[in-house]
Chain A
Amino acid sequence: MIEYVWLIPLFPAMGFLFNGLIGRWCNLDKKTVSWVACSALGLSFLFSILVFFSLLRLPPDARAAVPDKVLFDWIVSGDLKTVIGYKVDPLSIVMALVVSGVSFFIHIYSVGYMHDDTGFTRYFAYLNLFVFMMLTLVLANNFLFMFVGWEGVGLCSYLLIGFWFERDAPANAGKKAFVVNRVGDFGFMLGMFLIFTHLGTLEFNQVFAKAHILDPLTVTMITLLLFVGATGKSAQIPLYVWLPDAMEGPTPVSSLIHAATMVTSGVYMIARCHVLYSMAPISMVVVAIFGAATAIYAASMGLLQFDIKRVLAYSTISQLGYMFLAVGVGAFSAGIFHLMTHAFFKGLLFLGAGSVMHALSGELDMRKMGGLWRKTPITFLTFLMATLAIAGIPGFSGFFSKDEILWQSFSSPHGHLLLWLVGAAAAGMTAFYMFRLTFVTFLGKCRASEKVKKHIHESPPIMTVPLIILAVLSVIGGYVGIPHVLGGRNYFHEFLAPVLGGLPEGVGHASFSLVKLAHAGGGGMDGSGANLELVLMVVSVIIALIGISIAFYLYILKPDVPKKLAKRFKALYTLVFNKYYVDEIYEASFIDSAKKIGTFLWREFDDGVVDRTVNLVAGLMLWCGKILRKIQTGRVQGYALGIVLGAVVVIIFLIK
């Protein structure tokens, strides 16, 4: 079964070709288009499951050593040989499952959400193309082929953000996303060049096998350059600026691309390259610090936004920061775990936001919402589930994954108390802004206009069923990785251990973190580590509850307090509300200066210097011609004089 892995990305590719060529050309009806698109994803999901179970049947050690499935040679030049090939191991198949699964549900949801859009066929063609590219990214067996997916998802993101291209805002946002991503890709490419010049290959297996010959400086450079790529794709400081604007795209796109899948590729890439990162402690510190900083910075921006999708966008950036914090402290599988649970609950939150917009005729401003829970009960309940999950309430999936990251950021050999503090503070903010969002949107009085109010309705089943499925996953998704201190068994880490390491022989039942601790302390799994883990867990839950209580106090009990606070701390409020003016600063320092330089080079230098010189040379020739023309007057006397003078010169010359 495993050798059929290439079918997983093939189905969406065929769906894209069918809808993109035949569907648009022949104006196929919406039913056919949506059936093709969704069944392509369904088949893709099915094959992911089949491959997953085939892999599960292998003994754990063999799972990471499945031979790559190579289809054909791609770029071959001298000693460079790259292939179109797929890699199946626990890590890639977990990603493939998450991607194809979440995509499948979002495709179904989209059939309802996009039903009245004129670009229906185009939308599904792009969406299929996106899934194809994303699966390529996660299943590729070498850096260069991964880069195809890497830039390919960027392209789809561009196309889908700018889906409503008649308006300027989406078109601008799409372009911004692509160009900012290109800045990241610049780093990724240089990283690949360094790998190739030092190791002579770009294939994962060979690179990681040969990595030990790299010197520390090179491997640090490589990992930092790859991380630049990750900051672009996964919206980390300093390249996060495109993601909030990306909310101009259709909401299911925000859910799929800008929350559940594409933006997590940076985390996946680092986990994939964990061999290299483990060799570069400095890079690990950099990743962890950038992750933690992004987590709290983006969370702070989410506190004050009124646009529900923007709140979720900042939340996504912040949660991605958590994942980078995890991989930065060496807890690679914890990062992937959070990636998975986040895909469920954040995907769901966006779909819920879409359902709210659907009910409110496209309204995004939460100040014009309120009291929706009565009329949209399913949306409300599923949204609440996801909110509880992201806030890290025990029992929900987010609790397990987030808590593990926090614990690792403290206890891992790469961890630090400060990292934990920042992470915990961000967790409190997350709980606050998420409950603020839920309270203001669903509870209280409805503040919508009368006209909108009349139309408020629950979404059709085609939209609510995916909501329910994702809600179930958001709740139970965490139970595959219960920490040992709570008496569970961390199946998730055990499954990933052959790739990401961390589980030595015979300790299969222990949780990842405790094994690490045991290693660090040299002792057994005695009580102290476990107790500390429990204490920190309780602390982080308390922080989350404090966040929720503040939100409850400010937005349910005393709804007029926030305005007063805003007035009192006006400078701070303005700064945060305007997102620290980073967009404006970037605009002024990069875009405007590039334009100015371009204009200067064109008008002043190209026209004024280079071309003028060319024309000057030509003019000089003309001028010489004009001068010389005067000699040739046609007057015989002149010529005679010339002949005489010439003869004199010749004679003088001869005599001398």
Chain B
Amino acid sequence: MNQLGFPILTTVTFLPLAGAVLLLFMPKGRDELLKRVTLIISLVEFMVSLPLFIYFDEGKAGMQFVEKVPWIKEWGVAYYMGIDGISLFLILLTTFLTVLCVLSSWTAVEKRIKEYMICFLFLETGMIGALVALDLILFYVFWEVMLIPMYLIIGAWGGPRRIYAAIKFFIYTMAGSVLMLVAIIALYFLHGKATGEYTFDLLRLYQLALPIKTQYIMFAAFALAFAIKVPMFPFHTWLPDAHVEAPTAGSVILAGVLLKLGAYGFIRFAIPLFPAAAFKAVPVISILALIGIIYGALVCMMQDDLKKLVAFSSVSHLGFVMLGMFAFNVQGVQGSIYQMLNHGVSTGALFLIVGMLYERRHTRLIADFGGLSRVMPVFATFFMIVTLSSIALPGTNGFVGEFLILLGAFKANPVYGVFGATGVILAAAYMLWMFQRVMFGDIKHEENRELKDLNLREIVTLVPIVVMIIWMGVFPKFFLKKIDLSVQHFLYDIKARHEVVAMPPEEEGTSSLVKQVEGSGLKLLITKE
């Protein structure tokens, strides 16, 4: 079945859900107990996800830990799961951040703790499910399932405009996804017609060579759903609203994982399903990504609300992710995946930090702070390190990702590289200016004079993040080597199939594919079940 002989992906996916069910049966008022149980569940979940990393075979390009059981046989729907180097770390990021989210919610959430924790665990199942699913219907189910707990988290535990933000988030994302569903079903029928086999199996559908015009339409439908999630300019306006209103942990998960699912959707679905269209879309996506980088940074600079600032910085950072991905070379795509992880760690940490300030002062306006370094030195140190990671200082994780992305983009098209690199300057400007206004200068508000420095729980929340920032910055090879072959395979595969469509049949489609496999001299192990 897989290298562990144990359905580990199912376990990782549904363990949080089982935990949520367990919480259902627990008494409502016992808040401390509820929190502890949730923390234990999330820790166990993290532990259980670690074997994925340990036993992941970096010498294999195909899917690993595969589980495949027919689900709705008549329609060709299967319970089909598997991961490769691209999804591996996103799963670990999810389980890692969930632990920190539970820790950060300890005192921040005061009402309906039980429901809150259930929502979180439910959300975790949704996110991991979407990352491991290799069947389009299964994926779609998880993709939509995620929305519900996030909607509740924003709508029930959010700030004053939470209802507006929650509905905007839900409907905006949903609207994009519906088109994707239509495209999925169309793809199903097209594949059935072409081969006689009706299936939602993603890897089978990859092999379908569609005419270029069909590809355009289908790619557009998928891309729209994912672009809203990323969010790419100009589909980003739900994000600042959602972030500002969401509770801290909600923002962490939203920025840390949910947005990545948009980018992941591109790399797992939209691009390999419709490679010819994806190649044609390079200028459009790259330019939108560049606009996102620069526009996000400029708007970010003028924000007066800390959370909104971090939200716009996400727009800028996710622009980097998309720019690298559509460079379609090893550095760009690896950098893009690395940047997804970095952004999860660093922006997650920024939201945690803003949350810590909010808990103390019940405001997020930059103007209400100033001079905090003096009263909160430990906090200042953590904040500084996270800020530096966010502006991609060499030695931190952010640099590895941005450098690879910009190098990849530059290789693909120097103009993209040059414009992308201006984002590096702007990032320094807006982050350091924000840091200065919050942390430096004299204390302008008397309330800030008595602020308490971080307590032990908060330090425990932030230390793993700082460790990750430096570890990923100094020893990137530890991570990159697991991603490497999958990315090479991905690139090789889409390039080969893109050419099949782009240069229509002199010979039969499959044979020309094989020829290029031989011709490229690249050793690939394409696993067959």
A-side residues, CB < 8 A to B, are 24, 72-80, 144, 147-148, 150-152, 155, 158, 162, 165-168, 171-172, 174-175, 178-179, 182-183, 185-186, 189-190, 192-194, 196-197, 594-595, 597-599, 601-602, 606, 610-611, 614, 618
Contact = CB atoms under 8 A, between A and B. Distances in A.
Contacts of B488: 78
B112 interface: no
A74 B403 CA distance: 13
Contacts of A192: 407
A578 B393 CA distance: 34
Contacts of A197: 410-411, 414
Contacts of A147: 394
17 contacts: A24-B377, A77-B335, A78-B330, A78-B488, A144-B394, A144-B403, A165-B439, A167-B442, A168-B442, A172-B436, A175-B432, A186-B421, A189-B421, A190-B418, A193-B411, A594-B301, A599-B302
Contacts of A151: 393-394, 399
Interface stretch (B16-24, B195-203, B422-430): B422-430
A75 B403 contact: yes
Nearest to A618: B171
A78 B487 CA distance: 9
Contact of A186 (B301, B399, B424): B424
Contact of A76 (B168, B298, B299, B481): B481
A591 to B, nearest CB: 9
Contact of A193 (B301, B302, B410, B428): B410
A78 B334 contact: yes
Q: Which of B171, B399, B425 has the most CB of A within 10 A?
A: B425
Nearest to A171: B440
Given A80-B407, A151-B394, A179-B428, A193 B417 contact: yes
A73 B477 contact: yes
A168 B399 CA distance: 29
B428 A165 contact: no
A606 B395 contact: no
B299 A178 contact: no
Contacts of A76: 476-477, 480-481, 484
Nearest to B241: A611
B425 A614 contact: no
Nearest to A221: B414
B410 A190 contact: yes
Interface string B2-32: 0000000000000000000000000000000
A196 B238 contact: no
Nearest to B388: A155
Contacts of B59: none
Contacts of A72: 475, 477
A193 B476 CA distance: 19
Q: Which of B371, B432, B439 has the most CB of A within 10 A?
A: B432
What are the 9 A-B residue pairs with the smallest beta carbon separation, nearest first?
Answer: A78-B330, A171-B440, A598-B302, A611-B237, A165-B440, A148-B394, A193-B410, A598-B298, A602-B299
Contact of A162 (B299, B440, B481): B440
Contacts, number: 142
Contacts of B331: 77-78, 80
Contact of B298 (A183, A186, A597): A597
B237 A189 contact: no
B415 to A, nearest CB: 11
A594 B428 contact: no
A196 B407 contact: yes
A595 B302 contact: yes
B406 A166 contact: no
A614 B238 contact: yes
A614 B237 contact: yes
Contact of B429 (A79, A152, A179, A196): A179
A75 B400 contact: yes
A324 B295 CA distance: 37
B71 interface: no
A601 B410 contact: no
A490 B411 CA distance: 45
B424 A185 contact: yes
A434 to B, nearest CB: 34
Interface residues of B, number: 59
A606 B477 contact: no
A84 to B, nearest CB: 8
Contacts of A185: 424
B314 interface: no
B303 interface: yes
Contacts of A597: 298
Contacts of B125: none
Contacts of B393: 151-152, 155
Contacts of B70: none
B404 A189 contact: no
B373 interface: yes
Interface in B140-194: 168, 171-172
Contact of A166 (B330, B374, B394): B374
A228 to B, nearest CB: 12
A595 B236 CA distance: 21
B222 to A, nearest CB: 20
A239 B237 CA distance: 36
Contacts of B476: 74-76
A183 B414 CA distance: 18
Contacts of A148: 394-395
B329 interface: yes
B464 interface: no
A86 B171 CA distance: 55
Interface in B421-462: 421-422, 424-425, 428-429, 432-433, 436, 439-442
B234 interface: yes
Contacts of A175: 432-433, 436
B178 to A, nearest CB: 13
A594 B474 CA distance: 34
Contacts of A186: 421-422, 424-425
Interface string B365-405: 00000010110010000000000100001110001100110
B206 to A, nearest CB: 22
Q: Which of B395, B406, B429, B484 has the most CB of A within 10 A?
A: B429
A610 B237 contact: yes
Contact of B334 (A77, A166, A189): A77
A598 B300 CA distance: 8
Contacts of A599: 302
A186 B371 CA distance: 30
Nearest to A148: B394
Contacts of B234: 610
A534 to B, nearest CB: 48
Contacts of A182: 424-425, 428-429
B243 to A, nearest CB: 14
Contacts of A74: 474, 476-477
Nearest to A611: B237
Q: Which of B237, B418, B481 has the most CB of A within 10 A?
A: B237
A166 B172 contact: no
A77 B484 contact: yes
A491 B373 CA distance: 50
Contacts of A183: 425
A168 B439 CA distance: 11
Contacts of B432: 158, 175, 178-179
A192 B477 CA distance: 20
Q: Which of B395, B400, B439 has the most CB of A within 10 A?
A: B395
Given A78-B488, A182-B424, 5 more contacts: A74-B474, A75-B404, A77-B330, A189-B403, A190-B410
B440 A598 contact: no
B484 to A, nearest CB: 7
A602 B305 CA distance: 13
B425 A602 contact: no
Contacts of B422: 186
Interface in B37-94: none
B77 to A, nearest CB: 31
Q: Which of B300, B302, B404 has the most CB of A within 10 A?
A: B302
B440 A166 contact: yes
